[in-house]
């Protein structure tokens, strides 16, 4: 029996009428993405055709999912909204605060000890406000959502950029900041610029060593880390329908790495099989009644160029296994000799020290079964592991079933380390080194999604490469980055040459899924009597104080930092050991922009304090400006804020007195997060104006009192020699977002309206 089945049936009950109306209004056949979007309009049936990439639209998502690192700030904000219960089904999943070190049992005990205060806080807030709570060890949020909550044709938002994983079950699932989630929890509309549409036609069929992971690695190679920005990627074609549901989830999951709003697939038999296997026959039956509305119209897929803004075609029969990296998820290399050449040319370490299988991207039963088939071959053929191997199952249901079926024992027979059903190394929760900053240069291969510098283990010298679980297993056994399991032989312990056979596996467990305790805690019906206690002296949790409006006059603002090159949310607000402060805004603000490279001097966490002339860390300098009543400015490059959805990357600068972030271009979620926190997120009208900014500059906004939609702002740059430059800054604020700015934050406006 599915969770929230009545809500799902309601979505399907209105779908035919709403989609038919939208088709008439738009005047042409519809993609799946458009059907889902038009079925979830806040105002009901469509009355106009929205312009992709331009019109801001209010939507009514069906549900919300939050992971423990982002849930803290989201729920701290919701507690200020003046509501007694969440307005839509919401869940919290404890998967980010469990560090991988010694193995599943010890690591989980340690997490429950050191993060007890946070887990208790999340559990009590969930119980009070009607939120489903998944305990530590229950699994990784996106795998648990796919197994329990995702449904074809639905719309959900989540406070994690990889919420998009649910597209594997035909959803439009979008990663957002916690303030966006709070809007929906409080019963408000959720606003999104109507996305552009990228169609990916998959022909042929995956076989041999090629996996669904290789599809998205190829798409990332084609589109790059920002090529999907502002767009939904919709997959279709015979290659799509031939793929498993969890394989589709893998592809959608890594759509976050190309900046896509989300990715999705049309409802098909693989999704129906997965729904029935995960005890949701009721959802499958309901979906089958409206299945023509749960995929794109036939005319769209027959002539995709007429209906998508961009079309990519990939023949899966010609696609081979890939390795993407290091330091960026879009640098793609075919396995084998191509890697030999690239590694030598770029001085990448050929020896592989670790292989890691799991994360929200590749931790399904199918993934573990295919990787275990390679591990079993190593045992049968007398091969010894040349690298360390770590396994993170995606959920307790997957772990329990895989253990029952002997898959985990195969890995243990190779001395692999089984970690908790949690994110672990994928998000920097990996105690690999005692001193990561001074750790040696090395290579690792993993089936995760991101591989930015320091992402997994805090070591800037770790070269991380992304691959499928089966390729990860093979390379970990061989111990070489350039190993090609399709052509290369290995020497076993008897001195014999052996080769791997192609991986095999099961789309779904032959004996079905099984679990004793999935880790779910249902909230009580009436939580008004539940008290949420926060210790004033806590280092982990801090109740929020509303932000004051920045105002219509910004004069004499100082440059805090001019970020050089790639500046992701990891650079702005690091994860790893800082995750422990995700519920304490003042404490976590001590990591604000410490990973960003200063354009002046090319160092991290080393900027000039214009009030004293001395150099210091970014947070310390920001606090000095704030204490002196001086506003500060951050300047950045292209795709500023790419990566995780963490709103701390916006809240920390806001807390430290930053008034505006001015960049060449933004990643979508981060730009929205800045707006939600009542800040100015602006772009250079002329990108070359980035070069005008000098280390000692001050800034005056000349017409902020005329802040209005579609009207650029004028900035005066004052240099220390007294010379001045006047430049134009573009923005994408609509009137509602300008109202957020004027009130100090979106949350302030919600509180005002509720009052």
Strand 56-59, strand 190-193: pairing: antiparallel
- For this structure, is 273 an active site residue? no
Q: Which residues of 190-208 are buried (b: 16+ CB within 10 A; e: fewer)?
A: bbbbbbbbbbbbbebebee
Residue of 450, 648, 655, 670 marked active site = 450
Cα–Cα distance for residue pair 348/445, rounded to 1 Å = 12
CB within 8 Å of 98: residues ≥ 6 apart = 107, 108, 111, 136, 137, 420, 422, 423, 424, 429
Strand 196-203, strand 442-446: pairing: unpaired
CB within 8 Å of 380: residues ≥ 6 apart = none
Quick one: tokens of 476?
């970990």
Instruction: Please count the other Cβ atoms lying within 10 Å of the Cβ belonging to residue 602.
Output: 10
CB within 8 Å of 755: residues ≥ 6 apart = 82
Name which of 206, 222, 212 is nearest 315 in CA terms.
206
- For this structure, is 482 an active site residue? no
412 close to 320: Cβ distance less than 8 angstroms: no
Residue of 33, 161, 395, 644 marked active site = 644
Residue at token pair 């036939």: 298
Residue 724's DSSP bridge partners are: 718
Quick one: tokens of 14?
């209105």
Helices marked H in 506-617: 569-572, 585-588
Residue of 93, 455, 584, 646 marked active site = 646
Instruction: Identify each DSSP E strand in 28-163 by its residue range.
Output: 56-59, 63-67, 90-93, 132-134, 155-158
Quick one: tokens of 380?
């049968």
Element (H, E) at 658: strand 658-663
Name which of 629, 456, 634, 632 is nearest 561 in CA terms.
634
Residue of 96, 370, 463, 571 marked active site = 96
- For residue 526, the SS3 value is coil
Cα–Cα distance for residue pair 202/256, rounded to 1 Å = 19
Measure Cα distances from 632 to 559, 724, 747 in Å: 6, 18, 23
- For this structure, is 63 an active site residue? no
Quick one: tokens of 28?
């042409």
Residue of 95, 330, 637, 697 marked active site = 95
Name which of 326, 443, 451, 446 is nearest 391 in CA terms.
446
Give just the sign of the alpha carbon dihedral 319, 321, 327, 329: positive
Residue of 4, 68, 107, 160 marked active site = 160
Cα–Cα distance for residue pair 660/554, rounded to 1 Å = 9
- For this structure, is 526 an active site residue? no
Measure Cα distances from 507 to 243, 244, 245, 366, 673 in Å: 9, 6, 8, 5, 38
Cα–Cα distance for residue pair 390/78, rounded to 1 Å = 37
Residue at token pair 């467990």: 509
Residue 35's DSSP bridge partners are: none
Residue at token pair 């991380």: 464
- For this structure, is 160 an active site residue? yes
Cα–Cα distance for residue pair 649/661, rounded to 1 Å = 11
- For this structure, is 644 an active site residue? yes
Catalytic residues, by residue number, are 95-96, 160, 450, 644, 646
């Amino acid at each position: 029996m599915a969770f929230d089945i009545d809500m799902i049936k309601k979505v399907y009950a209105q779908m035919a009428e709403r989609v038919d109306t939208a088709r008439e209004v738009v005047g042409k056949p519809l993609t799946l993405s458009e059907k889902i979007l038009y079925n979830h309009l806040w105002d009901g049936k469509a009355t106009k055709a929205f312009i992709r990439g331009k019109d801001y639209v209010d939507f009514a998502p069906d549900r919300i999912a939050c992971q423990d690192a982002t849930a803290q700030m989201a729920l701290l904000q919701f507690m200020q909204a003046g509501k007694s219960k969440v307005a839509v089904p919401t869940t919290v999943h404890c998967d980010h605060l469990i560090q991988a070190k010694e193995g599943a049992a010890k690591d989980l005990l340690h997490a429950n000890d050191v993060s007890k205060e946070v887990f208790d806080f999340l559990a009590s807030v969930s119980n009070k406000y009607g939120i489903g709570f998944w305990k530590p060890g229950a699994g990784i949020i996106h795998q648990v959502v796919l197994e329990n909550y995702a449904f074809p044709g639905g719309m959900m938002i989540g406070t994690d950029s990889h919420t998009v994983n649910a597209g594997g079950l035909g959803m439009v699932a979008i990663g957002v900041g916690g303030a966006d989630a709070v809007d929906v929890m409080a019963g408000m509309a959720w606003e999104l610029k109507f996305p552009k549409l990228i169609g990916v036609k998959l022909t042929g069929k995956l076989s041999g060593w090629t996996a669904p992971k290789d599809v998205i690695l190829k798409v990332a190679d084609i589109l790059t880390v920002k090529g999907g920005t502002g767009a939904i990627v919709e997959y279709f074609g015979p290659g799509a329908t031939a793929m498993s549901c969890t394989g589709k989830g893998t592809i959608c999951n890594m759509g976050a790495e190309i900046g896509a709003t989300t990715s999705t697939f049309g409802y098909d038999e693989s999704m129906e099989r997965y729904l029935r296997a995960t005890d949701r026959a009721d959802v499958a039956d309901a979906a089958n009644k409206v299945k023509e509305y749960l995929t794109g119209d036939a005319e769209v897929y027959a002539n995709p160029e007429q209906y998508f803004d961009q079309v990519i075609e990939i023949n899966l029969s010609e696609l081979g296994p890939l390795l993407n990296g290091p330091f960026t998820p879009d640098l793609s290399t075919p396995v084998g000799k191509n890697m030999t050449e690239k590694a030598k040319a770029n001085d990448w370490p050929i020896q592989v020290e670790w292989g890691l299988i799991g994360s929200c991207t590749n931790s399904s039963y199918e993934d573990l079964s295919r990787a275990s088939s390679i591990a079993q071959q190593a045992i049968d053929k007398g091969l010894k592991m040349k690298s360390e191997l770590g396994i993170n199952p995606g959920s307790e249901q997957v772990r329990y079933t895989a253990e029952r079926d002997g898959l985990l024992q195969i890995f243990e027979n190779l001395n692999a380390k089984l970690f908790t059903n949690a994110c672990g190394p994928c998000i920097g929760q990996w105690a690999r080194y005692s001193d990561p900053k001074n750790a040696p240069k090395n290579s690792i291969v993993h089936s995760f999604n991101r591989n930015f510098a320091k992402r997994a283990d805090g070591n800037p010298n770790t070269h991380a490469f992304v691959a499928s679980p089966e390729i990860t297993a093979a390379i970990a056994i061989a111990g070489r980055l350039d190993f090609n399991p399709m052509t290369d032989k290995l020497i076993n312990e008897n001195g014999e040459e052996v080769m791997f056979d192609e991986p095999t596996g099961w789309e779904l467990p032959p004996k079905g899924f099984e679990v004793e305790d999935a880790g779910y805690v249902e909230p009580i019906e009436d939580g008004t009597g539940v008290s949420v206690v926060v210790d004033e002296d806590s280092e982990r949790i801090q109740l929020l104080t509303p932000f004051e409006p920045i105002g219509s006059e910004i004069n004499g603002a100082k440059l805090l930092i001019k970020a050089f090159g790639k500046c992701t949310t990891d650079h702005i607000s690091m994860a790893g050991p800082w995750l422990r402060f995700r519920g304490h805004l003042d404490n976590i603000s001590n990591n604000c922009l410490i990973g960003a490279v200063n354009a002046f001097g090319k160092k991290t966490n080393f900027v000039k304090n214009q009030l004293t002339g001395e150099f210091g860390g970014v947070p310390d300098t920001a606090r000095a400006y704030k204490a002196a009543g001086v506003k500060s400015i951050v300047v950045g490059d292209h795709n500023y804020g790419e990566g995780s959805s963490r709103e701390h990357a916006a809240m920390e600068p806001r807390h430290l007195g930053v008034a505006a972030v001015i960049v060449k271009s933004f990643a979508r979620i981060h730009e929205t997060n800045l707006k939600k926190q009542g800040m100015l997120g602006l772009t250079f009208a002329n990108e070359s104006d980035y070069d005008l900014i000098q280390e000692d500059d001050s800034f005056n906004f000349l017409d902020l009192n005329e802040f209005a939609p579609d009207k650029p702002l004028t900035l005066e740059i004052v240099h220390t020699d007294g010379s001045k430059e006047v430049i134009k800054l573009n923005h994408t604020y609509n009137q509602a977002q300008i109202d957020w700015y004027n009130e100090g934050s979106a949350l302030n406006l919600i509180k005002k309206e509720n009052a």
